[in-house]
Amino acid sequence: MKVTPSLRNASVAGPSAALRERVRRPGYLKKLAQPSDLAPLFKANEAMHERIETEVERQIGWSGFTGVGYPKGTPTAIADHIENNNLQANPDTKKKFNLFVGASVGPEVEDRWARLDMIARRYPHQVGRDISKGINAGRINFADKHLSMFPQDLTYGYYSLKKNHGDPTKPLNWAIVEATAINEEGHIVPGASVGATPEILQSAEKIIIEVNTRIPNLEGLHDINHSWTPPYRQPYLISHPSDRIGTTAIAIDPERVVAIIESDKPDNTGENSPENEESRAIAAHLINFLSEEVQAGRLPKSLLPLQSGIGNVANSIIGGLADGPFEKVQVWTEVLQDTFIQFFDSGKLDFATATSIKFSPGGFDHFYKNWANYKDRLLLRSQQVANSPELIRRLGVIAMNTPLEVDIVCALCGIEMLNGLGGSADFLRNAKLSIMHTPSSRPTKDDPTGISCIVPFASHVDQTEHDLDVIVTEQGLADLRGLAPRERAPLIIQKCAHPDYKDILMDYYERSLHECLKRGAGHEPHMLRNALKFHTNFLEKGSMKVKSWD
């Protein structure tokens, strides 16, 4: 790697004592830089080539997952540089990048890049008002991908089919990653997430490491394995959530490290979504169901490893388990929220593994302060392993996630683009128990139940009927195991729909059944002409309350 003049001439203060303690490979300290010196290295100009896919040095990967463990300094400096020099106003200087991150990162970087129109592409998941706006306005090309698959597709070269600048064997021009330490070999100890960082580092020509000295050195928290591609891929030899198959740091080629910077910004997380009556009702139905499964002998007394999504229902469930009847519980999940601290502290959670810990600022304070209590009961893995179908299926995970809407034969979906499907499908498809929980309705500005989460026909399908065992709303729980579509539909309506929608949904189903049986196509009855009427009614009149099916 030839160090560019702009970097060589950078005026950099000597490394701080904190940084010298964290960076145990002395050669790296010679590469110490300031983010503002690095910003001009990112040259990709929109007008340089006719087709955006072929522009130079457009491909950038960051560390980060669910808004933690992402680089803070360099992305901010690049945005500052662009803003201060007013580069986006002129097509000859405008910069747009293809941005690859395991999942979401802090809004102060991702949303800011979106506002500055610096993002040409973004894979495979995002969270933020401005990035969502950019995608829906057609300025950003986004595609969501199962989080277990994104890193492998990256290493396969599927996101760089048209890359024609730099090393053809490396899908990314740049990796910018956060570390909490660097070991003697120059390998990287991540922060509060692993995500796709190992594959992003493996895929990059040039690496910038942001060593965060504000967060404790988390060495030992991670289990990092090399990501082989076929035909060289081997079994993940894990049969219990606490099994280790890797090392404590991410191996990289030190020659590819362009710069080290010291960072002292915390992960910009918010407060957890507060529980409410609805989320507690859902959690109560669910814990009751799990108890019945234990009684019936279909689950062990300590359950099987749990996966739980993000949000207030997830908080209520995990909070409920902390007070619940199950002991020595194991967790195999994507991300841990604050209530897991409660669950650990209750003594009922034996061991948890995830790819990220997304605590609130107060949660992180507590966690880092009491690190000794948690460090032997927790492991962070890459998202390719945490979300691996191989492991989710082998361990018999109990998966609990939130959809946007559910149709009456159970295709699951979201209207518009929200955040992307994330890891939900990795878990739902492979879990021993696939559970979706949602409020039965959501408010519009005029009507507290203007949107029904149970609809005749989903307007976008991310998960299908073949991947779901149980649906829970605050109204009740529908156990769909072993049922055919004609049995599922009335059960979901009866148990899960909001009372405001029960009759209209049942009327849809009965008319559909009548029509479809008549023409000998009654397996999954629908009136296709009316199938999306909940949605068109909502678009036209602001409510899903369809007056009639005639």
Residue positions annotated with a catalytic role? 334
Beta-ladder partners of 330: 351
Query: Other CB atoms closer than 10 Å to residue 27's CB: what's the count?
Result: 12
Tell me the two tokens of residue 159.
Answer: 């996101």
Rounded least distance, CB 236 to a second copy, Å: 7
Any contact of residue 539 with a second copy (CB under 8 A)?
yes
* Contact stretch for a second copy (CB under 8 A) within 203-211, 279-287, 410-418, 447-455: 410-418
Rounded least distance, CB 97 to a second copy, Å: 15
3-state secondary structure of 206: strand
Any contact of residue 521 with a second copy (CB under 8 A)?
yes
Q: Which of 272, 385, 526, 546 binds a second copy (CB under 8 A)?
A: 526
3-state secondary structure of 388: coil
Any contact of residue 492 with a second copy (CB under 8 A)?
no
Angle at 382 between CA 376 and CA 385, to 5 degrees: 95
Please give the sequence-ordered ranges of beta strands (E in DSSP) within 325-401, or none if there are none.
329-332, 335-336, 349-354, 356-357, 378-381, 398-401
List the x/- string, 55-94, binding to a second copy by CB under 8 A. Answer: ----------------------------------------
Rounded least distance, CB 161 to a second copy, Å: 6
68/472 with CB nearer a second copy: 472
Q: Which of 2, 17, 520, 547 binds a second copy (CB under 8 A)?
A: 520
* Contact stretch for a second copy (CB under 8 A) within 67-75, 103-111, 262-270, 476-484: 476-484
Q: Which of 86, 239, 277, 445 binds a second copy (CB under 8 A)?
A: 239
Amino acid present at 363: G
Beta-ladder partners of 378: 352
Q: Which of 4, 48, 236, 284 binds a second copy (CB under 8 A)?
A: 236
Q: Which of 97, 159, 340, 351 binds a second copy (CB under 8 A)?
A: 159
* Contact stretch for a second copy (CB under 8 A) within 190-198, 358-366, 492-500, 515-523: 515-523
Give how many residues touch a second copy by CB under 8 A. 88
Q: How far apart are the first and last CA of the chain?
A: 69
64/171 with CB nearer a second copy: 171
Q: What is the DSSP string of 183-195?
A: -TT--EE--SB-B
Any contact of residue 417 with a second copy (CB under 8 A)?
yes
Q: From residue 91, give the alpha-carbon distance in Å to each of 112, 208, 516.
A: 19, 27, 56
* Contact stretch for a second copy (CB under 8 A) within 33-41, 80-88, 309-317, 528-536: 528-536
Helix axes 277-295, 312-322, angle to 10 degrees: 50
29/52 with CB nearer a second copy: 52
3-state secondary structure of 78: helix
476/522 with CB nearer a second copy: 522
Rounded least distance, CB 501 to a second copy, Å: 18
Any contact of residue 292 with a second copy (CB under 8 A)?
no
What would the 3-class secondary structure string for 403-462 be?
CCEEECCCCEECCCCCCCCCCHHHHHHHCCEEEEECCCEECCCCCCCCEECEECCCCCCC
Beta-ladder partners of 62: 101, 176
144/275 with CB nearer a second copy: 144
Cis amide prior to 151 (ω within 30 degrees) = no
Rounded least distance, CB 396 to a second copy, Å: 3
Phi and psi of 482, rounded to 5°? 75, 5
Q: Which of 522, 542, 545, 549 binds a second copy (CB under 8 A)?
A: 522
369/514 with CB nearer a second copy: 514
* CB within 8 Å of 3: residues ≥ 6 apart: 258
Tell which phi-psi region holds residue 64, choosing left (phi > 0), alpha (psi between -120 and 50) or beta: left
243/323 with CB nearer a second copy: 243
Rounded least distance, CB 49 to a second copy, Å: 17
3-state secondary structure of 45: strand
Rounded least distance, CB 461 to a second copy, Å: 4
Any contact of residue 144 with a second copy (CB under 8 A)?
yes
Any contact of residue 432 with a second copy (CB under 8 A)?
yes
Q: What is the DSSP string of 236-247?
A: ---SSTT---SB
Rounded least distance, CB 425 to a second copy, Å: 7
289/368 with CB nearer a second copy: 289
Any contact of residue 546 with a second copy (CB under 8 A)?
no
Distance, in Å, from the CA atom of 62 to the CA atom of 208, rounded to the nearest integer, reads: 10
Rounded least distance, CB 535 to a second copy, Å: 5
Any contact of residue 202 with a second copy (CB under 8 A)?
no
* CB within 8 Å of 203: residues ≥ 6 apart: 61, 154, 155, 170, 171, 172, 175
Rounded least distance, CB 160 to a second copy, Å: 8
Site for a second copy in 104-143 (CB under 8 A): 121, 123, 133, 135-138, 141-143
Q: Which of 342, 430, 452, 512 binds a second copy (CB under 8 A)?
A: 430
Any contact of residue 377 with a second copy (CB under 8 A)?
no
Tell me the two tokens of residue 422.
Answer: 């994330």
